[in-house]
Amino acid sequence: MAPDTVPAPGARAVLDQAARRRTIAVISHPDAGKSTLTEALALHAAVIARAGAVHGKGSRHGTVSDWMEMERARGISITSAALQFEHHGSVVNLVDTPGHADFSEDTYRVLAAVDAAIMLLDAAKGLEPQTLKLFEVCRHRNLPVLTVINKWDRPGLDALALMDEIESTIGLRPTPLTWPVGIAGDFRGVLDRRTGGYTRFDRTAGGATVAPEDHLTPEQAQALEGEAWTTAVEESDLLAASGADHDQETFLAARTTPVLFASAVQNFGVGRVLDTVVEVGPAPTPRELVTGGARPVEAPFSAVVFKVQAGMDAAHRDRLAYARVCSGVFERGMVVVHATSGRPFHTKYAHAVFGRERTTIETAYPGDVVGLVNAGNLRPGDTLHVGAKVEFPPIPSFAPEHFAVVRARDTSRAKQFRRGIEQLDQEGVVQVLRSDLRGDQAPVLAAVGPMQFEVATYRLEHEFGAKVMLDHLDYGLARRTDASASAALRGVRGVEVLTRSDGEVLALFVDRWRLGTVVKENPDLLLEPLVGARV
Ligand code: GDP
């Protein structure tokens, strides 16, 4: 055994703590109900009998302060990066994937920090573009995915048709754990496919955390629901006959996805989601190393930085890095090694952060997320460790879909401009592409979400003193290519080849149609999709 993998004292305790952890993220398209589900999960776990604390963007503000109160009262720790709570003896770390307008590479990087994902679908919409993009990242990481069909209380697609869509679009075989009784829009409850029992949706139950559920026998269900129950049983039998039953091994191998039906806004089915995460969700496992092999969870402390946030909050003008513990115990005050620079990093200030509020984290175990303050040198993908050198593979860059040329407004600020671009590139705020044709004064910024440009422009001006001009380019997709393609594609209309700062050569295309014709005319060119791209 290599010296750095010798278990630290207390390895047994670390293993026990790691085994209790479930570190997950929700992937969904905006409006599928991610915030509603997240809040409902947190409230469920906290068992706070308070009505109306969940729901809706309008009341989001109120909910936030409710959370902080909960945090004090119940020891739940909330960060803008992760929400931690206990359920049935397990510790769930729900790592936030920012949705909506701030969709960016950060969203993807979160998936490098979790052990499983909940794919949340709107029953009326099925698989939507953002869900698919995020799913591609899960596939790349071989992450187990649990599927939740939300908004079953509203008219939507047929349940079996939804299962077909999942299987044919993403190739994951759905293995429903529950099956809806009543079509979408007439949600009466769910058939528990394991026990055959009926969980009835009780619309009269009040409160955000009182589960609006009654548990009934199949006979009672038949008497109460008649035709709707019969249909559910028949469909469930059909699923069983086609082998669509949950299998832990194929789920962990990311070949099948357990499915649950829910109405997050009405808090129905939410408890079951939580139970399922704890029951079937994977605990942290050894993480692969650059040098080959994997770091056991009971090895001395190591963590991977997956998100860096700078200058966002006027009250705390420092830089925050979020790291996921991969092995060992994190204790506040520890001096760890930043693998990239080889320099020590003091963790005196380790926090759980939510907005302006910070609470101090004292101890964290594999699967947990810590926010590190004064993290000026840390970058997404960096490794922190104690003892002999440990290095995890970098987090892959994702397929950009937005491109813009950036130039300094004032040429006398060229130095500041160059320094700023270099810094943003290293932090992973945007990707930076260059070509001889365009020169160093006018690099191309590439992003997965347009919001990344705003952050870059703002920071170039305010942090580096370089006002810039952005010229949006018409390209909409990128493919990985090589130097020989670069020569072949020179001068082809609607295509441009540039080199990313990590050395990757990217061919940009205005649209899918242009890509199609280029592929047809040059069948031998290397043109591979990048991570996160919809193939
Ligand atoms: P996010 O963008 O994914 O975070 O979605 P939100 O949680 O903000 O929800 C978007 C909208 O859908 C809000 O108006 C919610 O109240 C609503 N919503 C969420 N879950 C459900 C549900 O189960 N049923 C219905 N009918 N509406 C829901």
CA separation for the pair 301, 338 (Å, rounded)? 12
Contact 327 CB / ligand 1 (< 6 Å) = no
CA separation for the pair 436, 422 (Å, rounded)? 17
Report in angstroms the alpha-carbon separations of 200 from 189, 215, 220, 228: 4, 6, 10, 12
CA separation for the pair 326, 301 (Å, rounded)? 7
HSE-up (13 A, CA, CB side) for residue 164: 6
CA separation for the pair 287, 449 (Å, rounded)? 29
Q: Whose CA is nearest to atom 19 of ligand 1?
A: 33
- Cα 252–chain centre separation: 17
Q: Which residues contact 226 (CB under 8 A, 6 or more apart)?
A: none
Identify residue 95 by its one-letter amino acid code: V
User: Does residue 330 contact residue 350 with C-beta atoms inside 8 Å?
Assistant: yes
Dihedrals φ, ψ of 235, to 5°?
-65, -40
Q: Which residues contact 243 (CB under 8 A, 6 or more apart)?
A: none
Contact 96 CB / ligand 1 (< 6 Å) = no
Q: What three-state secondary structure class fits 530?
A: coil
CA separation for the pair 330, 302 (Å, rounded)? 8
Contact 156 CB / ligand 1 (< 6 Å) = no
Q: What is the pLDDT along the chain (535 residues), one digit of tens a residue?
A: 444 454 555 889 999 999 999 999 999 998 999 888 988 887 777 633 332 233 333 333 334 434 444 444 444 444 456 788 888 899 999 987 765 545 677 778 889 999 999 999 999 999 998 899 889 989 999 999 999 999 999 999 999 999 999 999 999 999 999 999 999 999 999 999 999 999 999 877 666 666 788 999 999 999 999 999 999 999 999 999 999 999 999 999 999 999 999 999 998 999 999 999 999 999 999 999 999 999 999 999 999 999 887 654 444 456 778 899 999 999 888 999 999 999 999 887 665 554 444 556 678 999 999 888 777 788 889 999 999 999 999 888 888 999 999 999 999 999 999 999 998 898 888 999 999 889 989 999 999 888 889 888 988 998 899 999 999 999 999 999 998 888 889 888 899 999 999 889 999 999 999 999 999 998 989 999 887 654 4
Q: Whose CA is nearest to atom 28 of ligand 1?
A: 265
Atom of ligand 1 nearest to the CA of 39: 7
| CA nearest neighbour of 76 among 124, 119, 38, 126 | 38
CA of 72 from ligand 1 middle (Å) equals 27
Contact 269 CB / ligand 1 (< 6 Å) = no
CA of 509 from ligand 1 middle (Å) equals 35
428: left (phi over 0), alpha (psi -120 to 50) or beta: left
- Tokens in use for 427? 């932090």
User: Does residue 128 contact residue 119 with C-beta atoms inside 8 Å?
Assistant: no
Identify residue 221 by its one-letter amino acid code: A
> Within 10 Å of residue 252's Cβ, how many Cβ atoms?
18
Q: Which residues pair with 436 in a beta bridge?
A: none
Query: Which mutation among 27, 28, 31, 36 tests ligand 1's pocket best, with the greatest number of atoms within 8 A of CB?
Result: 36
